Amino acid sequence: MNGRFLLVGTLVAAIAIFAWQTVSNVALPWHQQSMQAFGNNDAVVKAIRAAAPANGVYWSPQGVLAAVSMTPDLADKTSATFMGQMMGRQLVIDLLMAYLLTFLFTRLPAAGAVHTGRTFAMAGLAAGLVVEFSSWNWYGFAPKFALVNAIDLTIQFFLAGALLAALARRLRVVPAPGVSVPAGAGYGAKAADTPTHAP
């Protein structure tokens, strides 16, 4: 694999991941449906600010975990100004994630887009399960919330893997040299009868 593919692959994967995240969080209702709004928002916000004077993560042994990130004037963080800032930071996060996934792709043997997408999806599902359901187990996150986020991450990984494989084929990128051992090699076969080749 070459540096050009690493750069182009990172950009393509990051754009695809960011686009899906936008659709997932804006157009689809599943994230909102996995959470509940406070009944008396203004009173709750003031009570939390009083109990948590500095932003950070707070917990209670009675089973409360709260991520507090308020402005001094308690501004609405769903406004366009704050959303723009958060989306900008998310794009940077996605670029880093896409770079790592592209680098991982360069370590795998060549395969079709769907096959690679499924392979990446399995990795995404594993990561989603251990992160999201560990939060359910230890911190009381709702099972539906954990499941939605795990599925969301699985879709992101699938898109990245499938697009990277399609891009590699389009650019005619040659996989990194490696050794492929046929099934059964080493079980009674002579060394001369065990060919190795680049995938």
Q: What is the CA radius of gyration of the chain?
A: 22
pLDDT value for 2: 80
Mean pLDDT of 19-40: 94
Please tell me the distance from the alpha carbon of residue 37 to that of residue 23, in angstroms, as a whole number: 21
Backbone angles phi, psi at 176, to 5 degrees: -60, 140
What does the mean pLDDT of the chain come to?
Answer: 89
Q: 40, 54 in Cβ contact below 8 A?
A: no
Report the distance separating Cα 39 and Cα 1, nearest Å.
Answer: 54
Of 196 and 122, which is predicted with more confidence? 122
CA pair distance 76, 84, nearest whole angstrom? 13
CB 6 within 8 A of CB 106: yes
Q: Return the pLDDT at 13.
A: 98
pLDDT number for residue 172: 86
Give the pLDDT band (50/70/90) at residue 156.
Answer: very high
Is the predicted pLDDT of residue 147 greater than 60, yes or no? yes
What average pLDDT does the segment 5-20 reach? 97
Q: How far apart are CA 86 and CA 62, in angstroms?
A: 31
Give the number of other Cβ atoms within 10 Å of residue 150's Cβ: 20
Q: Comparing C-alpha atoms, which of 189, 123, 167 is closest to residue 5?
A: 167
Segment 148-177 shows an average pLDDT of 91
Query: Comparing C-alpha atoms, which of 93, 89, 119 is closest to residue 104?
Result: 119
| Nearest of 152, 169, 167 to residue 13 by alpha carbon | 167
Segment 137-166 shows an average pLDDT of 97
**Averaged over 156-180, what is the pLDDT?**
84
- Judged on CB neighbours under 10 Å (0-12, 13-18, 19+), 165 is buried
Read off the pLDDT of each residue in 87-93 and give the average, rounded to a whole number: 96
pLDDT tens digits, 41-81: 999 999 999 999 999 999 999 999 999 999 999 999 989 88
How many whole angstroms separate alpha carbon 46 and alpha carbon 52? 10
Residue 176: band (very low, low, confident or very high) from pLDDT cuts 50, 70, 90: low
- 40 backbone φψ class: left, alpha, beta (φ>0; ψ -120 to 50): beta
Other Cβ atoms less than 10 A from the Cβ of 158: the count is 22
The upper half-sphere exposure of residue 102, i.e. CA atoms within 13 Å in the direction of its Cβ, equals 29
